[in-house]
Amino acid sequence: MKKIINVEPLEDYKLLLTFDDNIKKIKDMKPYLDKGVFKALRDRNVFNNVKIVLGTIAWGDIDMCPDSLYESSKTIE
């Protein structure tokens, strides 16, 4: 199972994720912002308050699977 070791919120509802293999990826969160609990992330203050919890990212009680994030994010150089 992949683990996220660093997260940085970026402009345009994107996240810079660093995984435990030191691969850096960008996750675009815009497609999620109209869905269920993720609607709360439209508030930039909430979105920017992303934390690492148990190897994944979370905003309070909203979290995402790190393996899914690894597979669905774009690798950067």
pLDDT (tens digit, 9 = 90+) per residue, 32-69? Answer: 999 999 999 999 999 999 999 999 999 999 999 999 99
The listed CATH number (1.25.40, 3.30.2020, 3.30.70, 3.90.1720) that belongs to domain 4-65: 3.30.2020
Residues 6+ apart with CB under 8 A from 68: none
The answer to whether the pTM exceeds 0.75 is: yes
pLDDT at 11 (0 to 100): 95
Q: Which residue has the tokens 């435990």?
A: 20
pLDDT at 77 (0 to 100): 73
Average pLDDT, rounded, for the chain = 97
pLDDT at 18 (0 to 100): 98
pLDDT at 33 (0 to 100): 97
